[in-house]
Every structure is written in structure tokens, then in C-alpha cells.
Amino acid sequence: GQQLNQSPQSMFIQEGEDVSMNCTSSSIFNTWLWYKQDPGEGPVLLIALYKAGELTSNGRLTAQFGITRKDSFLNISASIPSDVGIYFCAGQYTGTASKLTFGTGTRLQVTL
């Protein structure tokens, strides 16, 4: 099935650094979502974006819905060890199914 292009695939950063990751699609979405998945768990929703151009924050996390509706980015400021995990973007086109199309994931490792 279709997957969104997400980059980078993995990141090794030091505690306290800022992190940026992005997601692009060949088709438009009217909702962008960012999820975090810890080992052995299902994805947990971090931020939801509903409008093109929207910039939304959740604590140290900031995400933006691209103007073209084909991309989104997620920033994490001042990273801490518990930020370790895999981050997935997901696009959703509100329709009869509202199924999510997921990115390939960004694996984040934080070193002390």
C-alpha cells in the first residue's frame, strides 16, 4: 500500500538538541497527524493538524500543515531521553473511510 515519504529515517542526537523531521506526499490530505510509537506499543497521537498552513504546538512539540496540503513537519525542542522512539506522520483524507496513510517512520535516539 501507499506510504508517505518521511525523513530522516533515523537520528542520533544529544539530549537538549532540537529535532526536525518531515513528511511529503504525492497526494493532498485534509488532516495531518503525528504519532509516536514506543517498543511493543501501538502509536500514540501527538499532534493533529486540520487546516493548511496551521501551526500547532503541544509542549515541546510543534507541527505544521503545509500550504500545499502535501507535506508536514514536526519539531521537537530540547530533546530528553524519553523522546526516544519512532515517530510516524500520517495523512488522512476525510471521506467514506478516513483511513490513515502512514509515513515510513523516523527512529529517534537520544544520547546523554
Partner 1 sequence: GAGVSQSPSNKVTEKGKDVELRCDPISGHTALYWYRQSLGQGLEFLIYFQGNSAPDKSGLPSDRFSAERTGGSVSTLTIQRTQQEDSAVYLCASSPRAGPLAGGQETQYFGPGTRLLVL
The interface region with partner 1, picked from 13-21, 54-62, 71-79, 91-99 by CB under 8 A, is 91-99
Which positions ≥6 away from 67 have C-beta within 8 Å? 52, 53
Question: Distance (Å, rounded) from C-alpha 72 to C-alpha 55?
Answer: 10
In a 10 Å sphere around its CB, with 0-12 CB exposed, 13-18 middle and 19+ buried, how is residue 6 labelled?
buried
Reference 33, options 97, 107, 103; nearest CA is 103
When asked if residue 59 is in the footprint of partner 1 (CB under 8 A), the reply is no
Q: Is 79 in the site for partner 1 (CB under 8 A)?
A: no
| Among the listed residues 58, 94, 109, 111, the single contact to partner 1 using CB under 8 A | 94
In the range 14-53, which residues lie near partner 1 by CB under 8 A? 31, 33, 35, 40-45, 48, 50
Q: How far apart are CA 87 and CA 69, in angstroms?
A: 20
Under rule CB under 8 A, residue 99 binds partner 1: yes
Residues at the site binding partner 1, with contacts judged by CB under 8 A: 1, 3-4, 6, 31, 33, 35, 40-45, 48, 50, 88, 90, 92, 94-105
